[in-house]
A and B are shown apart, each in its own frame.
Chain A
Amino acid sequence: MKKDIIIDLKNIDVSYGENKILDNISLYIRDKEFITLLGPSGCGKTTTLRVIAGFTQPDCGDVIFNGKKINDLPPYKRQVNTIFQKYALFPHLNVFENIAFGLRLKKKSDKEIKERVAEMLELVNLKGFSKRNIDSLSGGQQQRVAIARALANDPKVLLLDEPLAALDLKLRKDMQVELKNIQQKLGITFIFVTHDQEEALSMSDTVVVMDNGVIQQIGTPQDIYNEPKNAFVADFIGESNILDGVMKEDFRARFSGHTFQCLDKGFGTGEAVDVVIRPEDIVVTTPDKGMISGTVTSVTFKGVHYEIIVDIRGFKWMIQSIHEQKVGDEIGLVIEPDSIHIMKKSIYSGKFGDYSSFSDEIDHLSDIEEEE
């Protein structure tokens, strides 16, 4: 086993009654790594975190910490600390006592506690808040207290359960940067749970994409975005057009009535595949110059770019372009070989990737739902 692995989950199963929440999860986490568990509500990411923290007992499988099996170790004996979704600060204690809670249990001297709390308050930019009541703090400040309270114990691993979900967008962006800075400064392992793919991509060293209690893909943010393993990952991370295609031979794929050059090989000749094309990789041109062409059905201005939906042979493509198009116009599309990513067929094939029923609102609604 590699030396720098701090947590190793081996074949973890968790079920509540009939429901299988985690299905054979195996995952190792390196020391000092920022790893994100990413997935939609109910995918099992929070449960995975609870297994590591010790709040949930796996039905089977091993939890290894620093080379030792800790399945039966209660949470208060584990060298991990958690930042809870709604912070779970103690309302009967002030900021100082909240942060000092773990230190007092360790029977540290008053002087030591004072120094440590002051250090933590400085780290999270809350100097001078120590006497304040928890109720008098804003959401962002409570978040900082929760971070300070967890870090005061000097954990080997910090578990973060959607810590930014309750903050507004601007504050969330700031906290993302700050958390990343804290992690690098302290050099401890962060295990971060979120359903926000942007958050996952911008903060993590490693992203673990989960759905239905199963790990779909583990990789760097670049891997996950550029080389998604299946239609679920491609759809969940960013926008993507996912089409049915057939591999003619290595480096040649046929979809949407045209045979394209691509960079993928190793599939069987004539094998049915899923083809992913990111909306920002498509070049818009006139119909006669395009490899394929279709009719614009909707155009939305997004600030940085226009979001254009084009109907090509019944499939609605999404294109992100800085040039405006008119609804009803014919346009042609050019797709370069390095813009095409070929995936093997999976249980998710055909479920995602068409923008015919696309609506921002529905997307947004499913985002708000929280995992409980």
Chain B
Amino acid sequence: MEKKTLSAKLLASPHIVWSVLFIIAPLIMVAYYSFTNADGNFTLENIKALSDYKEVFLNSIWYGIVATLICLVIAYPTAYFIARSKARVQSTMIMLVMLPMWTSLIVRTYSIMSLIENTGIINSFIQKLGFEPIQMINTSGAVILGMVYDFLPFMILPIYSVLTKLDNKLVEAAHDLGADKITVLTKVVLPLSRSGILSGITMVFVPSVSTFYISQKLGGGNFALVGEIIEGQFVTSNNFNLGASLSLVLMVLILICMAVMNHFSGDEEESSGGLMP
């Protein structure tokens, strides 16, 4: 290891201060609240109370998995198509993918609401054609739709960034050695874009599991996800301790999920791109 110079330390200091203030300190506070009661005394009550929320946790993880898989199925071909286009088409397409990210998540979720409400745009159109309105909002499908719509760019971008860096010579080499188009995809392109897929999955799965806003607005509170419960503990019930312990467990569960996924997809290869290691 090389020794870090003074200037390197100085340059790193803003990042260290930031990490301590906004990542490490809050984590310590979450841990502190989890293991104390309202009077500040040590207790395991909050952890024990979690058994009441088993279903909510499973539900959240299930929704996260479904939304992530749908995103992956949509995003991979999209990213592949964009990466194979001409440079000018590419930049336009990437603009279009990123454009929704410039508006806030809340606005985007509201726009979905106004589309699928009982008196929303789609239903009023259907009624004008003389059909019965369809119940779309406040269904589990609406929650999944919201997650997919809101987080899809986070799947497309890392996959795209890996695919653009993929050397076309490798594709040609595989063809040259006798691989047809499908074999090239499964034996060369997919394995080489794994790091992008992994970071995409992380970036969609984590916010999907912990979202509270989407399920509130599009699920109508019928589909309690853990994010909603946590929000409730902090905002309405004012039970910081239970909220903190729920958060802590959610965090651990997500870490376990990611570890399992990383393990099964093999980790001997270095990540060659993507937005996350």
Contacts and interface: CB of A to CB of B under 8 A. Distances in A.
Interface in A6-39: none
Interface stretch (A88-96, A188-196, A206-214, A285-293): A88-96
Interface string B173-200: 1111111100100011001101000000
A53 B172 CA distance: 10
A55 interface: yes
B4 interface: no
Q: How large is the interface on B (under 10, 10 to 19, 20 to 34, 35 or more residues)?
A: 20 to 34
Interface in B240-260: none
Interface stretch (A75-83, A171-179, A223-231, A332-340): A75-83
A105 B169 contact: no
Interface residues of A, number: 25
B183 A105 contact: yes
Given A84-B172, A88-B169, A88-B170, A101 B269 contact: no
Interface string B43-72: 000000000000000000000000000000
B170 A90 contact: yes
Given A88-B167, A91-B192, A91-B272, A153 B178 contact: yes
Contacts of B176: 53, 75-76, 80-82, 150
Contacts of A81: 176-177
B172 A55 contact: yes
Interface in B151-178: 167, 169-170, 172-178
Contacts of B178: 76-77, 102, 105-106, 153
B179 A76 contact: yes
Nearest to B266: A92
Nearest to B190: A92
Interface in A102-116: 102, 105-106
A248 interface: no
A88 B173 CA distance: 6
B179 A82 contact: no
Contacts of A55: 172, 175
A65 B138 CA distance: 65
A91 to B, nearest CB: 7
Given A55-B172, A86-B169, A88-B172, 13 more contacts: A76-B176, A76-B179, A80-B176, A81-B177, A84-B172, A88-B170, A89-B173, A90-B174, A92-B194, A101-B179, A105-B178, A105-B183, A153-B178
Interface of A: 53-55, 74-77, 80-82, 84-86, 88-92, 101-102, 105-106, 149-150, 153
The 4 closest A-B pairs by CB, nearest first: A102-B177, A88-B173, A88-B169, A75-B175
